[in-house]
């Protein structure tokens, strides 16, 4: 399942990589999320037998991915592979993910080894690390040289939706991504809900996927993404690790500071970036979820 939002060039590169997969029992669902970069005829020409869906409005990652997921499940899919349109899987990636998922029926979700497309010797991430007490979250392995240090990792708290394989059983039970997140950290929420339901989250380090995004230092996050990340970070912690008032206040302050510091890692438009974080924290306090006009 590939979600496109005004990213035609990235999506074309992703589809080209998918055509080279050495696992052949798969079908593409491409969702044009609030845009019309493609057509059903073009997508079928690029990937024969593909399913094309277009929405009139941007449903966010969560809503768009859920729409694509429903199409896949309606076609009888045993697994749904959520793949970012700026991701390029290596030929053996899907086979490795399927093999890992089939090995343990308790596995709800399996993540891949995500490598930086600009420098495949460096990791983008191998998993998500979440400290539910303090609220700290980070990409495990981010920007490390890949020396095989995570090649024995097979279990995680959470993985990213950049290249996430999920079983039909778990998606049906959990009802997919929570659309109140709209975009950002909906993958962490899904993983935490899966674990709470008794499932496992796995990692398949031999499933290699290149991710074409700039480094954090290059200011990869837009103003809107900074807003959603700050708001959803706080929402995620409230939902999965509720705390008494004094500890909750301290965690809110910590998370707000972490998001502000992250926003300032790029030297461009610092005041606008800090304002986006401030609005995210404000709307979290107001209980505003889903798509936000001010983002």
The whole-angstrom separation of Cα 259 and Cα 280 is: 10
| DSSP string for 139-154 | EETTT-B-SSTTTT--
The 10s digit of each residue's pLDDT in 246-271 is: 999 999 999 999 999 999 986 688 99
CB atoms near residue 191 (< 10 Å): 28
The 10s digit of each residue's pLDDT in 166-207 is: 999 999 999 999 999 999 999 999 999 999 999 999 999 999
Q: Is the pLDDT of residue 82 over 60?
A: yes
Q: Is the pLDDT of residue 20 over 60?
A: yes
**Fold for domain 2-211?**
Spore Coat Polysaccharide Biosynthesis Protein SpsA; Chain A (3.90.550)
* Predicted pLDDT of residue 215: 55
* Predicted pLDDT of residue 168: 98
Pairing of strands 137-140, 163-167: unpaired
* Predicted pLDDT of residue 191: 98
Q: Is the pLDDT of residue 230 over 70?
A: yes
Q: Where are the domains of the chain?
A: 2-211, 220-286
Give me the phi and psi of 165, to 5 degrees please: -95, 130
* Predicted pLDDT of residue 221: 79
Percent of the chain at pLDDT > 90 equals 92
Question: pTM for this structure?
Answer: 0.95
Q: Is the pLDDT of residue 288 over 60?
A: yes
* Predicted pLDDT of residue 294: 58
pLDDT, mean of residues 45-68: 97
Alpha helices in 153-222, H assignment, sequence order: 168-174, 186-196
The 10s digit of each residue's pLDDT in 115-127 is: 999 999 999 999 9
Q: Is the pLDDT of residue 73 over 80?
A: yes
Q: Which residue has the higher pLDDT, 273 or 216?
A: 273
The whole-angstrom separation of Cα 67 and Cα 70 is: 5
pLDDT, mean of residues 33-50: 97
The whole-angstrom separation of Cα 74 and Cα 97 is: 21
**Of 206, 101, 212, 199, nearest to 158 (Cα)?**
199
Q: Is the pLDDT of residue 220 over 90?
A: no
* Predicted pLDDT of residue 207: 98
């Amino acid at each position: 399942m590939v979600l496109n939002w005004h990213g035609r060039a990235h999506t074309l590169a992703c589809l080209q990589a998918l055509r080279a997969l050495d696992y052949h029992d798969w079908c593409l669902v491409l969702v044009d999320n609030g845009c019309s970069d493609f057509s059903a005829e073009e997508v079928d020409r690029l990937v024969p037998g593909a399913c094309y869906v277009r929405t009139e409005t941007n449903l966010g990652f969560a809503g768009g991915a859920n729409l694509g997921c429903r199409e896949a499940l309606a076609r009888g899919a045993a697994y749904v592979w959520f793949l970012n349109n700026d991701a390029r899987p290596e030929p053996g990636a899907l086979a490795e993910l399927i093999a890992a998922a089939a090995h343990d029926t308790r596995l709800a979700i399996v993540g891949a080894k995500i490598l930086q497309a600009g420098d495949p010797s460096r990791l983008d991430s191998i998993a998500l690390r979440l400290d539910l007490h303090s609220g700290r979250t980070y990409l495990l392995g981010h920007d490390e040289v890949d020396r095989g240090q995570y090649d024995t990792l097979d279990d995680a708290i959470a993985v990213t939706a950049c290249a996430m394989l999920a079983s039909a059983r778990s998606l049906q039970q959990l009802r997919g991504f929570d659309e109140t997140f709209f975009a950002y950290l909906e993958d962490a929420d899904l993983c935490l809900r899966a674990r709470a339901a008794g499932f496992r989250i796995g990692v398949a380090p031999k499933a290699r996927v290149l991710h074409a995004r700039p480094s954090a230092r290059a200011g990869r996050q837009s103003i809107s993404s900074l807003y959603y990340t700050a708001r959803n970070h706080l929402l995620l912690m409230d939902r999965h690790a509720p705390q008494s008032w004094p500890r909750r206040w301290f965690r809110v302050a910590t998370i707000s500071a972490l998001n502000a510091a992250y926003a300032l890692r790029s030297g461009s438009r610092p005041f606008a970036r800090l304002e986006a974080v401030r609005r995210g924290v404000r709307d979290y306090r107001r209980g505003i979820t889903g798509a936000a006009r001010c983002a």
